[in-house]
Amino acid sequence: MNEVVLQAEGIWRSFKSGPEKLEVLKGVELTVRRGELVAIVGPSGSGKSTLLHILGGLDRPDQGRVILDSCDIFRYPEERLPELRNQKVGFVFQFHHLLAEFTVLENVALPLLIAGRARNRALVQAEAVLDEIGFTTRLRHRPAELSGGERALVAVARALAKSPVVVLADEPTGNLDNRTASGLMELLVQLKEKGRTIVLVTHNETIARQAGRRLVLSDGRLKDEDV
């Protein structure tokens, strides 16, 4: 059985809404093993993105803990969390957040450069990752010169650049047409088959059913449903 690489235990998270407290996550439990592709679905506002951000150390829970690659991440001081995220987590966001002034190759190399990798070496490694996902042209183009699907591929490549323990994808197909979204999901399935570990949140049930596991977040709790 594959080893556990990500575990959430008793995750609670609430937000102030005027005089009231809105409980979004109510003791969420989650175990992800190496090489899994897990899709989290749920109604709008159910807390899917909040949960993903907590799993990646972008937000802190009110209670509970997250174990990532044997590291209890919220026991780390705040100033060390960015380094931990850069080492162990790859993020893919709905709006991609590519840097407009950088080329495709430079955007993918960015996590490596942040980690102190020499520029030439980082660019070579970035090109290898782009080749792995089948993006072999337009490497010197900038994001504004790319289609939405191409920008999504670049965002995935950037997330993979440092061979993270887990890739967390927040609505990665949300701004794509059905055909392009299906192609991106096929890529994620291929990456899973190569041993990559991916957790994605999506409102698209068709996309979710292509994952190895489908989990439903409702009323602050997570239900595991095998696909």
Domain map (residue ranges) of the chain: 4-226
Model pLDDT, residue 223? 86
Q: Residue 1 — very low, low, confident or very high, per pLDDT cuts 50/70/90?
A: low
pLDDT tens digits for range 122-173? 999 999 999 999 888 889 999 999 998 899 999 999 999 999 999 999 988 8
Model pLDDT, residue 61? 94
> Do the Cβ atoms of 52 and 44 come closer than 8 Å?
no
Reported residue count of the chain is: 227
Model pLDDT, residue 226? 56
Q: Residue 97 — very low, low, confident or very high, per pLDDT cuts 50/70/90?
A: confident
Model pLDDT, residue 165? 94
Joined tokens for residue 216: 């439903």
Model pLDDT, residue 217? 92
Model pLDDT, residue 81? 86
* CA dist., res. 34 & res. 13, Å (int): 26
Stretch 30-55: mean pLDDT:
91
Mark out the alpha helices in 3-161 (DSSP H runs): 48-55, 81-88, 104-114, 119-132, 148-160
pLDDT tens digits for range 187-210? 999 999 999 999 999 888 888 888
49 contacts: CB under 8 Å, gap ≥ 6: 170, 171, 201
Model pLDDT, residue 227? 47
Instruction: Find tokens 């409102």 and name the residue.
Output: 203
Model pLDDT, residue 87? 87
pLDDT tens digits for range 100-130? 999 999 999 999 998 889 999 999 999 999 9
Rg of the chain (C-alpha set) = 17
**DSSP per residue over 152-212, as a string?**
HHHHHHHHHTT--SEEEEESTTTTS-HHHHHHHHHHHHHHHHTT--EEEE-S-HHHHTTSS
Model pLDDT, residue 225? 66
Stretch 38-47: mean pLDDT:
87
Under CATH, which architecture does the 4-226 domain have? 3-Layer(aba) Sandwich (3.40)
Q: Residue 17 — very low, low, confident or very high, per pLDDT cuts 50/70/90?
A: confident
* CA dist., res. 6 & res. 40, Å (int): 15
> Do the Cβ atoms of 169 and 96 come closer than 8 Å?
no
170 contacts: CB under 8 Å, gap ≥ 6: 48, 49, 52, 53, 91, 92, 93, 94, 200, 201
pLDDT tens digits for range 63-93? 999 999 999 999 888 888 888 888 899 999 8
Mean pLDDT of the chain: 89
Q: Tell me, yes or no, if the pTM score tops 0.85.
A: yes
Q: How far is CA 142 from CA 103, 132, 211, in A?
A: 4, 20, 31
* CA dist., res. 58 & res. 73, Å (int): 11
* Residue 213 scores a pLDDT above 60: yes
Strands across the sheet containing 63-68: 20-33, 4-17, 63-68, 71-72
* CA dist., res. 138 & res. 36, Å (int): 31
66 contacts: CB under 8 Å, gap ≥ 6: 6, 7, 8, 9, 11, 54, 55, 57, 72, 73, 74
